[in-house]
Structure 1
Amino acid sequence: MSERVITPRNRGFLFIDSHPAGCERVVNDMWQAAAPSVPVPDNAPVALIIGSSAGYGLAATIAGLARVGIRGIGVSFEKAPERRTGTAGWYRTAATAELARQHGRDMVFLNGDAFSDAMKDQVAELIERRFGGRLDYLIYSVAAPRRTDPDTGVTYASVLKPIDEVYRTKTLVFDGEGKPEVKNVETQPAASDDIEQTVAVMGGADWERWIDHLADRGLLADGFTTAALSYIGSTLTGAIYRQGTIGAAKSHLEETARTLDERLGKLVGGRALTSVNAAAVTQSSTAIPGIALYVGLLRGVLGDAMVPPIAQLAELWDQLTGTCPLDLDAEGRVRLDTWELEPGVQTAVAERWNTATTETIDKLADIRWFHAEVERLYGFAVPGIDYTQPVETDVPWPDSTP
């Protein structure tokens, strides 16, 4: 037993510890939000979620389990509790696995490097042995700082940089007492091979490798569908995102989708597409200059009309499974971000952006909501949790045996 009281300690948007009970409650709330929860379906579809422990990948996992009744495998890379607590994703995965068990879903969670061929082999063997040798869906949601190419052994590192020009923007930070400040920051443009390295990590290479690996072993079911999660975003953040190094990677991801779509159509009557999701507070997005300010202002404009990740991924599953029609844009992408990019919304956010200062930010953005959302990423600020009480931190990884 390793019970203790856990209080939030952070450096900017990065928290040192996570709260197991808070993470569990977050997962339970997401499951309820994905309703209606279906009974265990006969011949439930088999799904593989790569990047299943955080952000949109977590939402894809929970929505798939609760709303569709999927069985299958979730892959993520999380740290176990040792001297400090485990990562938030560790506790979220444990909670997701427990809910899956309670609802009769056969879901296995693997912890390791999704970029490695060893993980691909482990997943393929599980599909063969446990899930009848067929895979119906693959959702790809990976945000990582680096990737080692299994063929060459070369390690690539992704960067958040603009292309060609210095990027100057406003950004939102919090001081040591949690008070919001609007600051101006400057980011130097990508140099040497920054773009190529970022594309190698965050583009479509690993997604395609997963498909190749599973197809070579004959594991793709007739009508197999795969979707990679992407983002376009506002012109306010375009220079650092969609027109920056990460945007180059997302463009490569979308090009990969078109290539895979053609191949899968011929191979198994399947399809590949990208899903463009909307802005949200995630551990990845808070690292991007300007995004925190933008999301806080967006919430200030829309309030509860913002669509959370779990609702977006519930809609994606509805489209993928045929519950509602597949709604694609001219480039073949599912668009779950139309509410964010509606012209009136973007005009209102831009007006607030232009006048945002440390003195005015409390009136323009929903700061309380944003700050709480950041804390909830680590299991803090969750309603119903008594943070004065000790909690067990030594939570085991879910058992993968049948």
Structure 2
Amino acid sequence: MIITPKIRNNICMNAHPVGCERETLNQIEYVRNKGKFAGPKTALVVGSSTGYGLASRISLAFGAGADTIGVFFEKEGSDKRPGTPGYYNNRALEKAAREAGLKADSVNGDAFSHGVKKQVIDLIKEKYGSIDLVIYSLASPVRVDPDTGEMYRSVLKPLKGTYTAKSVNAMTGEVSEASIEPANQEELEATVKVMGGEDWQLWIRALKDAGVLSEGAMSVAYSYIGPEVTYAVYREGTIGKAKEHLERSASEISKILDPLKGKAFVSVNKALVTRASAVIPVVPLYMSILYKVMKNKGIHEGCIEQMYRLFTQRLYTQGEIPVDDEGRIRVDDWEMRPDVQEEITKLWEQVDSGNIEEIGDMDGYREDFLRLNGFNVPGVDYDAEVNDF
């Protein structure tokens, strides 16, 4: 069949297998061109489907020469329709890694479950021996408690009353006001349960108890702070409270890793188009303006550039790992530069439907949005029939 993007409410509902694989290979090529760095020998990436998780796995495999295990929850293709992007991304990564002489395996299942944790541990014992680095990059809207079976759903809501601000329809460029009702306590607690650090701790405890973490093993989870304009719906909203819990969990995980002389960190990353961020009101408009400002200043990065910089200039410099006053690694430093944020604040006041294409980089935003699902990737013939799902 010929596959075209199906977009609904800022969500792309389908994927292009050839485009996904081509985009993964493009990221691999970027890392190969940047060069090797001294990093972990083995790495586990929990949440390696797309975005930062996928970019982490690519950087570690093709930059550090690490053997990698990826964990994701994706649908394989069927005779009638293609699967989801992460399936094709990791399939392409594994093939390229094995061709390069690296071990690369994936576990497709619910990362919150005890069963998947056991499956990963068994795989490590069988083929990898031990793990030097654990990346935790899950971005799931739902979590089933592995002990009680209770289901929790995360929500993207403010906590201090109804929030109203400018937002944009990314596909049409229409700027309008979006209002979001505040979360109740139950919604807040559920969001923290899904997106906080509880499962991260469970992963590290399970791996340590099984004896599959190396001496000096590290773990890193990803977070975001962002500018004041997004605080109400992000940092001071339900998702922000979940991220605060994630960040506090780093100190608890460091205690778990202390007998191994290991340590856990949270890396605060730049705002980028991901499947999660695309559906947060206000954020796509902010990102389109951010893209324009950072590209004009020559400091824009995508996921692969961010992760390569994280590993080569923060985690694996052979020296002390630089952190902020809260103990967090910061690779959002270019985004949060005063000159960048001052310019964004000025443009935010001016932006409307008539000037968004000029003031913001909507084309760049749309391009990244579509590429997440394998569309709009250079070199792919989208008029050609796709038969291999």
User: TM range, normalised to the smaller chain?
Assistant: over 0.9
Output the amino acid matched with 1:92.
Answer: N
Matched, 1:100 2:94: no
Matched, 1:362 2:357: yes
Output the amino acid matched with 1:220.
Answer: L
Please state how far the C-alpha of 1:39 moved relative to its aligned partner. 7.7
Q: 2-side partners of 1:172 and 1:35: how far apart? A: 36
Q: 2-side partners of 1:85 and 1:165: how far apart? A: 41
Q: 2-side partners of 1:371 and 1:194: how far apart? A: 31
Q: Retained in 2: the 8 A contact 1:280–1:295?
A: yes
Aligned to 1:313: 307
Q: 2-side partners of 1:77 and 1:196: how far apart? A: 23
Q: 2-side partners of 1:161 and 1:349: how far apart? A: 23
Distance 1:40 1:130, change over 3 A: farther
Q: Retained in 1: the 8 A contact 2:40–2:132?
A: no
Aligned to 2:77: 81
State how 1:167-246 maps to structure 2 within 5 Å: 167-174=163-170, 178-246=171-239
* Cα deviation 1:148-207 (Å, max 9, x = unaligned): 111222111111000121111111104xxx431001010001113111111100000000
Backbone CA RMSD of aligned residues: 1.7
State how 1:39-54 maps to structure 2 within 5 Å: 45-54=41-50
Q: 1-side partners of 2:288 and 2:37: how far apart? A: 39
Q: Retained in 2: the 8 A contact 1:299–1:306?
A: yes
Aligned to 1:348: 343
Aligned to 1:124: 121
Matched, 1:158 2:154: yes
Structure 2 gap segments, 5+ residues each:
none
Please state how far the C-alpha of 1:12 moved relative to its aligned partner. 3.3
Q: 2-side partners of 1:254 and 1:90: how far apart? A: 29
Aligned to 1:400: none
Output the amino acid matched with 1:277.
Answer: N
* Cα deviation 1:321-366 (Å, max 9, x = unaligned): 3356522111111100010011111111111111111011111001
Please state how far the C-alpha of 1:67 moved relative to its aligned partner. 0.5
Aligned to 1:271: 263
* Cα deviation 1:30-70 (Å, max 9, x = unaligned): 112223576899x9611110001111001101111111111
Q: 2-side partners of 1:271 and 1:119: how far apart? A: 24
Output the amino acid matched with 2:221.
Answer: A
Q: 1-side partners of 2:8 and 2:376: how far apart? A: 17
Aligned length: 385
Q: 1-side partners of 2:36 and 2:339: how far apart? A: 41
State the percentage of identical aligned residues: 39
Aligned to 1:282: 274
Please state how far the C-alpha of 1:297 moved relative to its aligned partner. 0.5
Please state how far the C-alpha of 1:263 moved relative to its aligned partner. 3.0
Q: Structure 2 length normalisation: TM-score?
A: 0.95
Q: 2-side partners of 1:368 and 1:50: how far apart? A: 31
Structure 1 gap segments, 5+ residues each:
395-402
- Candidates 269, 284, 302, aligned match of 2:294: 302
Report the secondary structure of 1:274's partner residue: strand
* Cα deviation 1:195-226 (Å, max 9, x = unaligned): 11111000000000001111111111110100
Matched, 1:112 2:109: yes
